[in-house]
Structure 1
């Protein structure tokens, strides 16, 4: 018999960015540290999480089916569309380090403005990414130790919608051999696991 309380609907969520190497919270309801900056409003499409896997199968003489099935590589991606224009989102979209941006202060009748050149292929902008998916009292927290933007949607400048930033982040190997992606999900019971002999 199913249990409807186990159904998660992401009615709200937040995304946070920090420098690679930042310390993640120790639980799904622990506040994000000062190293993590809120990345702003996300469109109602929410978060799209995907897992791709490359596998190698080894055959054996006289066997009809593969005898070994090896995972060669797993690629995890996280796609969000942000509404706000901030220096960090400009940095990620145009692939230019924030340290290479220039801010000119307001003066007299001139507004403050930011200026930069689009990043070259030699530039790499990587972040630590924190994601919260929220439904009522439940929370699914995803922590990506190191990631980069692997795909970008086209930006549309029109009166019909905000000029959004559609970004797909790909998880990269974490510093120091740590886990590249960690998940924490509240109110999910872990059943007793039988040992390899099935004796409990």
Structure 2
């Protein structure tokens, strides 16, 4: 019989960013620690996680089914829509290193502003990404060692909604041969070995 306590409904969540190589928390209940910054409000759509596989099947003479089924490539993506306009989100959306952005301080009667150029394919912005999906004390934490933005939604500037940043992150090979994506989920019990 099923157990309703095993159902996770992502009623809340957070996204955190750091430089590639940052140290991840050791468990889903630990704080994100030094170097991690909160990426701000996410729309109620929450997180969309997808895993796609490219597979190769090998046949054998006289067999009516493949004898080997190999995974050639696994691509994991994570899609979120952010509400806030921050330097980090502008950097990710427009693929501009924050070090190439210029902040002009406020002057009498004028507001501070940030400026940058976009359109160059020479810039690539990669980050470490931390995601928390939270429901009634349960937590599904996803730690992505290295990722980049591979798809973006259009930014709509209107009186109907905020100017949102829809970003799809793709997990890339992790530095030092580590796992590119690590999942930590509270209150899931492994069955006893028989």
Please tell me the TM-score bracket, short chain as reference. over 0.9
1:14 aligns with 2:14: yes
CA distance in 2, matches of 1:111, 1:158: 22
**What residue is the counterpart of 2:132 in the other structure?**
132
Q: Output the CA distance in 2 between the equivalents of 1:120 and 1:174.
A: 25
Query: How many Å apart are 1:122 and its aligned residue?
Result: 1.1
> Structure 2: where are the runs of 5+ without partners?
none
Give 1:34 shift: 1.9
Q: Distance in 2 between matches of 1:159 and 1:30?
A: 39
Aligned twin of 1:30:
30
For normalisation by structure 2, the TM-score amounts to 0.99
In the TM superposition, structure 1's runs of 4+ consecutive aligned residues that sit over 3 Å from their partners are none
Cross-structure match for 1:56? 56
Separation (CA, whole Å) in 2 of partners of 1:16 and 1:106: 29
Partner of 1:5: 5
Q: Which runs of 5+ in 1 are unaligned?
A: 194-199
Partner of 1:153: 153
2:180 is the alignment partner of 1:173: no
Give the aligned partner of residue 95 of structure 2: 95
In the comparison of the two structures, how many residue pairs are matched?
194
Residue of structure 2 equivalent to 1:197: none
Deviation sequence 1:57-107 (CA, Å, 0-9, x none): 000000000000000000000000000000000000000000000000001
Q: Tell me the CA shift for residue 26 of structure 1.
A: 0.2
Alpha-carbon displacement from aligned partner over 1:130-161 (angstroms, at most 9, x marks no partner): 00000011000000000000000000000000
| C-alpha separation in 1, matches of 2:180 and 2:12 | 24
Q: Where does residue 189 of structure 2 map in the other structure?
A: 189
Per the TM alignment, residue 116 of structure 1 is displaced from its structure 2 partner at its CA by 0.1
Q: CA RMSD in A?
A: 0.6
Query: With structure 1 as the length reference, what TM-score do the two structures score?
Result: 0.96
Shift of 1:12: 0.1
| Structure 2 residue aligned with 1:83 | 83
SS of 2:108's partner is coil
